[in-house]
Amino acid sequence: MSPAPQFKKPRMSEAQRQRELIDAIFSPRAADASCAGTQQNGAQWQMGLAAYRGNGRAHACNALRVQFPTVLAMLGTETFDALCFSYWRTCPPRRGDLAWVGEELPAYIETLETLAEWPWLADCARLDWAVWQMSGAPPATFAESDLRRLVDGDPAALSLKLSPSVRRLSSAWPIVTLYDAHRQAHPDWEAITRAIAQNHAQTAWVWRPHEDLAAAPSVELLDAASDRWIAALDAGQTLDIALDSAGETFDFAAWLEQAIRQGWLDAVADRHAPSDAMGNA
């Protein structure tokens, strides 16, 4: 009788290995020795997991301090670290890359009754996260052909695609004022208190300079007309509808000049053009 064929276990991808290791670190049950592709077992495996838990939590806290400087400045180091440890246990990371560890922190903040008296904090965290994301976003690909299409095309058929290195963030709170105030070495706490008391809604415009990829992203306050304009572009509206949304006070020519210079636009799309023709334009 011929021996049964032996099959090799397929090699685990790096993403799978990281996912299983993360599951093991956060699992309340003892992990078996095959988890994450390891051959360890028993006490040695448990000691390894304990080390990963401790080191992972510390590394995550350090990463979150970098990713959420405004929240850190608002809460102070001790309270922020406590928030990080609670977040680390409650919301296990979905990826092994620490660059994404803070992805769910803004939403997590909203669930905490202990922070309910700080209703602006979650949006401040969202602004911090937007700035962090823009730091590594790819640059715009706006080309001369896009400009020609914009000049020659029908506004009712054209739409403007924003660059991946820009972000609009709307809030019921003065998030730009709070962001700017906490960038100062010595924040003006009275001004911060007044801004919160006024409960003035603001929309932040986050963008990374097009010509200097190493530069820190900029955060600006959008005026009402620009906010309506960018919201319309975000929604995929055609140029004519977006201009109507912005209103008569919006200076399209001035905005376009700055948008091209700063890399806010990625492309101009002609909805009447076949997709293959656009690709060859």
pLDDT of 103 above 70: yes
Question: Do residue 140 and residue 247 come from a single domain?
Answer: yes
pLDDT of 4 above 80: no
Which residue, 96, 118, 140, sits at the end of a domain?
118
At 19 the pLDDT is 53
Question: Do residue 204 and residue 173 come from a single domain?
Answer: yes
Question: Do residue 162 and residue 240 come from a single domain?
Answer: yes
At 169 the pLDDT is 98
Tell me the per-residue pLDDT of 21-37, one tens digit each, with 9 for 90 and over. Answer: 445 444 444 444 444 44
Tell me the per-residue pLDDT of 43-90, one tens digit each, with 9 for 90 and over. Answer: 554 544 444 455 678 888 999 999 999 999 999 999 999 999 999 889
At 8 the pLDDT is 42
Tell me the per-residue pLDDT of 146-189, one tens digit each, with 9 for 90 and over. Answer: 999 999 999 999 999 999 999 999 999 999 999 999 988 888 88
Identify which of 274, 267, 271 has the alpha carbon closest to the alpha carbon of residue 145.
267
Question: Do residue 240 and residue 224 come from a single domain?
Answer: yes
Question: Do residue 87 and residue 186 come from a single domain?
Answer: no
| Banded model confidence at residue 275, pLDDT cuts 50, 70, 90 | low
Question: Do residue 103 and residue 168 come from a single domain?
Answer: no
Domain range enclosing 138: 119-281
Identify which of 166, 160, 132 has the alpha carbon closest to the alpha carbon of residue 233.
160
Question: Do residue 112 and residue 194 come from a single domain?
Answer: no
Question: Do residue 173 and residue 137 come from a single domain?
Answer: yes
Question: Do residue 204 and residue 105 come from a single domain?
Answer: no
Question: Do residue 29 and residue 133 come from a single domain?
Answer: no
Run of H or E including 85: helix 77-90
Number of domains in the chain: 2
Share of the chain above pLDDT 70, in %: 77
pLDDT of 194 above 70: yes
Alpha-carbon distance 127 to 121, whole Å?
10
Question: Do residue 109 and residue 127 come from a single domain?
Answer: no
Tell me the per-residue pLDDT of 238-266, one tens digit each, with 9 for 90 and over. Answer: 999 999 999 999 999 999 999 999 999 99
Question: Do residue 280 and residue 167 come from a single domain?
Answer: yes
pLDDT of 127 above 80: yes
Q: What is the CA angle 213-146-220, rounded to 5?
A: 45
Contact assessment for residue 229 and residue 175, using Cβ atoms and an 8 Å cutoff: no
